[in-house]
Structure 1
């Protein structure tokens, strides 16, 4: 039997899969011996003792350890079952723990169920079965813990109920005062960091409020209302009363009465939305229409564009959260159409570089991904529809085109050289850039997701995405991909929306998509016209039209498998729309 080795099907970026990286790290650790985060076992011991070792490793922090080979796996814990003194002795029978002998997922589920009776809270675990020179062995992978201390719930052989264990070199011992101090520091840090983020956000909002009040004062002065209020700032009721007073004043001129009536009916959200878009468009007018092609210059301008766009993205995020009735969806569509027109060169500009034009479309691309993903996770059907209906045009192509999928294609056609140079190892460099901007730093989409979605993300954690945010991003990308397919279904040529979801990726990152397909949400079924149906036609379109790249395999076969499941009735279907009374 051959050794488990590097898979020929590589995941995004040409990097080996997470499973293969674990295998390589285990081979390295076998030569290092037992350490504070590494334990060898000939066979699984009593479940209480195994729980004690797992809890002790989870309660131990060793991020600066030099015995790791893969820096991304540093501070992970390894319990290697079927090894003694660094040698593989072999083990493959979990029946003494009332678990199936060989099936990896079933053994994992069985162990987790039993360990939950001994450890609270149970740390995040992975379980892998490998072979080396024909000998099977197992690895229990213990993710770095942010929920220390992990406490024992039961007594057992050499195990005390309510005790907290840590690892000292290669043995498990009761935690000491310095360990409890470390737990406390870590807990305080974990509690304070979100508060610091919220305080920074409150400060930003307060500064924006001060700016808005300053603008309002100027507006009031311009409209002749300053005489109505003196001293302290007027309340909104006083402002409305003043406007009504002018509107109903018998001595007012037609101009005064009409102006005051217009102001009285003005929607502050509409005004702020279009003012934000106008500010962004004004900032884009200062960009050059010719770029030299130097990557340094291009990235500098891209960063400037992204900084200019951030206030609009923050505002759209707050609006999605607040607008439970989808009241402002059509206004947002009009605002984004206006934003898209900022990329069209004025007629006095007779020549321009395509990359400079594409950069002016970047705010619209960011807004579409940001808004579309938030609309999905907040279940705002009207906002998803506006993304579906939204169009853009360029000066060369006068006919408008749907933003999905054509905006991304147009932007990437003229910018791919810069993204591929920076993210050379990734299948979809643009997708990786958007993920980092929207979900990692400054994470403008991530921070506006429903709390339940952010909590759910933890189950998809991986070394490249400790928070699990990458799986959530890919689900959002997948939803945008479905929207892009809707107007194309049945056409001879279908152009899918590309992104990270379109390539072969680790299992934990696609389980979020599978969960969505197993229980289709009503808002998505409504937009895609799938009442009482499955997602089969959309999955089939992806299977038949997704292509790979020189570095990565396409996800076409994965979506074909899902389409076959949908056809056989083993995948979820949309609930039928109730008849109209």
Structure 2
């Protein structure tokens, strides 16, 4: 689906390239600079294209398209965004460019429109598309250096907003309020309807019918077969004649199935825990006025995620046959929509979706590390299939990139490590409250652990090994791809982190890792090459923080023989 959406965007962009610029379409040879880009984006977002006749695909009506790397109706190429977008590799990475552009524009436009960034190639030549979503937050004020103004597009020109534009903003605002109110009422009606249905079902199942059901069943048992009653329950209750003798004659299919085929209690509990987490996070505010409110929201996320993590930890630890690995995959995939902004929310902080996705990041680290150390290959494998968002980006590595882009500054105030986000994850999962540490195999926790300034207990060494494995897992779908690999960033990459255990993994990859990654005689050779290639030219997140370490040039060893 992600690929289909990308191809749809590309096809529409190439279609528009064959037409003229218009109110919602702009062509650029290269990046025009922060101020001009901000003015252009705000003007397109403030403009409504009620006709929509220029689009080949109706679903793009009222979307804005800025094509970069085009000229004279042709794709001429634009490989990397310059200046101010980091290293050449960062300036050519779609995710990095999106995050950097968002950071630049949010200081120049209020509120910032919702937009996406795509990198495409046509006949081997690179071009970019900035897709601006239809806005319900008009007007978007262009405010460079404190001189606020509102701009719109008339044809392909940018002009100051006129009286009729402000009237349109007012009408759109009223319409959005009505939709939000209607959406909230529909949601409330749905919840009331579901609650009513559950009450009716409970009333029916726990009323006289249930008593009659068991009395009728037990009366059919002879003295000779009472000792086999537990085994005969399915046979006795699925007989139509037996059901007809019940006091209630109109059992629904749902009632019969629920009585005869109860849910697996572990699956039911897992779904309940996930539902409780969803319900708790759905109550979080979508706007944060200051860092205090943001800190309170993150604290709530960590509090409400903890029971879910402890349940998952126990499941991974004790599910020796890995019967519930696929169930866990489905439950986690269902939670991936936590970061989606509901249609009835018209105003929200850009960091709000990332606060919710932080819960998923904690979960993928927790499950991945425990699956590795408990040798659960199926649980470890399912993590590479998890996706989120409209484009279905993979949890590994993109979920971490998304959360980092929104919360890095906040976590930097709490942790002095070179990677403050991984520092926060380590502290939460291994120290306080330490749900991952609690569920690790006792043999792992009893192993000698070297002292490290950031972790006197030595637990950081174990965390870094687990994060290294997640980094390898993030590369699995990318091995053999034409695109440059994008590894999972983290503490494991930094030269200041302990690396003894990582060296051992490279030299003697454990069986569970060989199975999950499909390693052959070369061991981790291909993965190490992809890791080095994906991080070439990338610096640390703080001055003086460097990628590398004693494990960086370790010679990969073979997998153990069966």
1:551 maps to which residue? 543
- CA shift, 1:274, in A, is 1.0
- CA shift, 1:361, in A, is 0.9
Query: Does the 8 Å CA contact 2:412/2:420 hold for their aligned counterparts?
Result: yes
Aligned-partner Cα distance in 2 for 1:373–1:558: 22
2:378 corresponds to 1:382: yes
Which of the numbers 425, 440, 460 marks the counterpart of 1:470?
460
1:406 maps to which residue? 398
What per-residue deviation string (whole Å, max 9, x for no partner) do you get for residues 439-472 of structure 1?
001110001011101111x332445423321100
When residues 275 and 298 of structure 1 are mapped into structure 2, their CA distance, relative to the original with a 3 A threshold, is: same
- CA shift, 1:313, in A, is 0.3
When residues 419 and 573 of structure 1 are mapped into structure 2, their CA distance, relative to the original with a 3 A threshold, is: same
1:274 maps to which residue? 271
> 264-273 or 367-376, which moves further after superposition?
264-273
The Cα RMSD (Å) is: 2.8
Aligned-partner Cα distance in 2 for 1:223–1:385: 48
- CA shift, 1:536, in A, is 1.6
Aligned-partner Cα distance in 2 for 1:321–1:487: 26
1:516 maps to which residue? 505
Query: Does the 8 Å CA contact 2:484/2:533 hold for their aligned counterparts?
Result: no
- CA shift, 1:247, in A, is 4.2
Which of the numbers 286, 292, 297 marks the counterpart of 1:289?
286
Query: Does the 8 Å CA contact 1:228/1:242 hold for their aligned counterparts?
Result: no
Query: Does the 8 Å CA contact 2:418/2:491 hold for their aligned counterparts?
Result: yes
SS at match of 1:414: helix
What per-residue deviation string (whole Å, max 9, x for no partner) do you get for residues 150-208 of structure 1?
xxxxxxxxxxxxxxxxxxxxxxxxxxxxxxxxxxxxxxxxxxxxxxxxxxxxxxxxxxx
What per-residue deviation string (whole Å, max 9, x for no partner) do you get for residues 397-432 of structure 1?
x22011000000011111112111222x22000000
What per-residue deviation string (whole Å, max 9, x for no partner) do you get for residues 543-574 of structure 1?
23333223344333645412xx23xxxxx211
SS at match of 1:460: coil
Query: Does the 8 Å CA contact 1:388/1:484 hold for their aligned counterparts?
Result: yes
SS at match of 2:506: helix
2:363 maps to which residue? 367
- CA shift, 1:377, in A, is 0.4
2:557 corresponds to 1:561: no
Which of the numbers 345, 350, 354 marks the counterpart of 1:358?
354
Which of the numbers 419, 422, 425 marks the counterpart of 2:414?
422
What per-residue deviation string (whole Å, max 9, x for no partner) do you get for residues 189-231 of structure 1?
xxxxxxxxxxxxxxxxxxxxxxxxxxxx99973795467789x
* Higher normalized contact order (CA 8 Å, seq sep 6+, divided by chain length): 1
Query: Does the 8 Å CA contact 1:290/1:356 hold for their aligned counterparts?
Result: yes
2:315 corresponds to 1:325: no
SS at match of 2:553: helix
Gaps of 5+ in 2: 1-201, 216-227
Aligned-partner Cα distance in 1 for 2:420–2:336: 23
Please give the TM-score of this superposition, normalised by the length of structure 2.
0.56
Aligned length: 340
Gaps of 5+ in 1: 1-216, 231-236, 567-571
Aligned-partner Cα distance in 2 for 1:240–1:414: 56
Aligned-partner Cα distance in 1 for 2:463–2:486: 21
1:341 maps to which residue? 337
Aligned-partner Cα distance in 1 for 2:539–2:472: 18
- Residue correspondence of structure 1 range 44-123 to structure 2 within 5 A: none
Aligned-partner Cα distance in 1 for 2:509–2:207: 53
Query: Does the 8 Å CA contact 2:499/2:550 hold for their aligned counterparts?
Result: no
Aligned-partner Cα distance in 2 for 1:241–1:296: 61
2:298 corresponds to 1:302: yes
